[in-house]
Every structure is written in structure tokens, then in C-alpha cells.
Amino acid sequence: MARRPIIAGNWKMNNNKAAARELVDGILKGILPLDAAKMPEVVIAPTYTALWQAYDLIKNEPKVALAAQNVNPNPSGAYTGEVSLEMLADFNVKFVIIGHSERRQMFNESDEFINQKALAILNAGLTPIICCGETLEQREQGVTDAHLASQITKAFNNISEADAVKSVIAYEPIWAIGTGKSCDAVEANRTIGEIRKVIAKLYNQDVADKIRILYGGSVKPSTIVEQMAQPEIDGGLIGGASLKADSFVELIKGAM
């Protein structure tokens, strides 16, 4: 069974109401003529403050799904500043990005907390996009594969086989994020193949063959075709190049 590609835009802390509207309108216009049967799964991850508007603009458009950039794994209660899965589901959010290196590094999120989030997301019937990736130092020390194996093993702790197969992984080398310097496509393919082997070891070959693993880190319209031509790469998690409708639509087309 072929894995359906995903093109996911991570807006990070960008776009006020007007900019969010302009971007979603532009994406909708750009994908209107595209054949839905050939399209990748298209996902956008606005900030919480733009979720309502994005939800409203895409509610009649099955070609686009919403993601959140974060979630709190607790159901409700005294968690000032946090948002629950029930609240996200209310906006028809289908995916949640977790384990992003920016959250790991700047907000001290641990592998254990990321695993709690993954379990809660799957329990609520949503799909986690579980990010992993090495620093430049780790790559230079030759410990990339071991580091990724550790991140993935901890993220998937206690996740059932049935839930694992529905999950999405994003391999995002930290040195490639926002730097304009994408990981070489062949090397990204190799690394993702190693992540797939970890999944095969944790579960079995069938889960490894079915789980979708994206590449992220300075994906651009000029890199996407080569990246998508790699057999292990099932799509992209895109920051900078997802902030302009034209380039995001180019990325979608590059995955068709």
C-alpha cells in the first residue's frame, strides 16, 4: 500500500487575523484546480489565535485539514495559558505537532512529556505529528541515528500498534530548520529509513511500511521535487515556505 504524502505548513508564531485570512484564501485559490485524488494530504498549523478563522475558511474544503502547533495533554482544569484536545477537536483540528525542536529547546519539553501528549492526542482520535531531529554537534559526532532512535523509542512508549500506524513522524534536523540549508535529500532519505527501522523494531515491518515520515528543515519549492522522489520521504513539514500562498501551493504541486 502506497503511503499518501502530507504537506504540512507550520506557521509558528506568525500571522495576525488579516494575514491568516490572506494566506488561507490564497491557498484555497491555488488548490482549487488541483485534482483531489492526486493531491497530498494538505495540513496547515496556524497559531491558536488564527484557528477559528482558518477553521471557518476551510470548513467546506475537504482538501485542507487543520493542525495545532501544541496541546496540553490534560483534559481540562487549572493550566493557565494551555489549550486542550477537546478545544482543538471543536475546531475540527485533525493533527497536532509535538516534539518540535523549538519546544524541546526553548520550552524544555522532555521526551516523557511529548509521549504523554502523543498518548492523549491518539486517545482523542487526533493524529500526532511527532518531530525528532539532531543538532549539528550530534551529527558531527556521528550520533544522529542513536539520538533519533532514542527520541522515537521514548515518544512511542505505551502507544499501541493500531495507534502507531496512524501516527506521523517528522524528521527535522535542527541545523536545517530556518537556516535555508536543507539536509541533502539522499541523506534525509537514509536517516528516515533508519527511523523506519526503529519503528519496525518497536512494532513490526508492517507498521514501519505504513507509518508516514516527513522531512522538515528549509523545505522550499526548489527542493521539494527531489525530496519527494526519495522513497522513504512521505512529505514535508514546512515553516518559512508555508507562509506565502504561492510557495505553499508550489510545495503541494511538488508532492503530486
Grid look-up 508532492 returns 255
For strands 127-132 and 212-216, give the pairing. Answer: unpaired
Write down the least CB distance from residue 218 to ligand PGA, Å. 4
**CB nearer ligand PGA, residue 42 or residue 177:** 177
Cross-strand pairs, 45: 10
19's enclosing H/E stretch is helix 17-31
Query: Is 147 known to be catalytic?
Result: no
Of 41, 102, 134, 172, which one is the catalytic site residue? Answer: 172
Size of interface with ligand PGA, in residues (CB under 6 A): 13
**Per-residue contact track with ligand PGA, 174 to 213, x per CB under 6 A?**
---xx-----------------------------------
**Per-residue contact track with ligand PGA, 7 to 26, x per CB under 6 A?**
---x----------------
**CB nearer ligand PGA, residue 84 or residue 138:** 138
Q: Which of 171, 178, 8, 214 is nearest to 106 (CA)?
A: 178
Write down the least CB distance from residue 200 to ligand PGA, Å. 25
Measured distance CA(129)–CA(61) in Å, rounded: 22
Distances (CA, A) of 23 to 32, 39, 42, 174: 14, 19, 14, 26
Q: Which of 156, 194, 157, 201 is nearest to 173 (CA)?
A: 194
Of 100, 102, 109, 134, which one is the catalytic site residue? Answer: 100
Of all residues in the shown chain, the one whose CB is closest to ligand PGA is 239
Query: Is 100 known to be catalytic?
Result: yes
**Which residues in 215-254 contact ligand PGA (CB under 6 A)?**
216-219, 237-241
Write down the least CB distance from residue 109 to ligand PGA, Å. 14
**Per-residue contact track with ligand PGA, 133 to 172, x per CB under 6 A?**
---------------------------------------x
Write down the least CB distance from residue 239 to ligand PGA, Å. 2
Measured distance CA(154)–CA(139) in Å, rounded: 20
Write down the least CB distance from residue 238 to ligand PGA, Å. 5
Q: What is the DSSP string of 47-78?
A: -HHHHHHHHHHHTT-TTEEEEES---SSSSSS
Is 163:202 a contact under the CB 8 Å cutoff?
Answer: no
Residues with Cβ within 8 Å of residue 81, at least 6 apart in sequence:
none
**CB nearer ligand PGA, residue 84 or residue 104:** 104
Binding site for ligand PGA (CB under 6 A): 10, 172, 177-178, 216-219, 237-241
Please give the positions annotated as active site: 100, 172
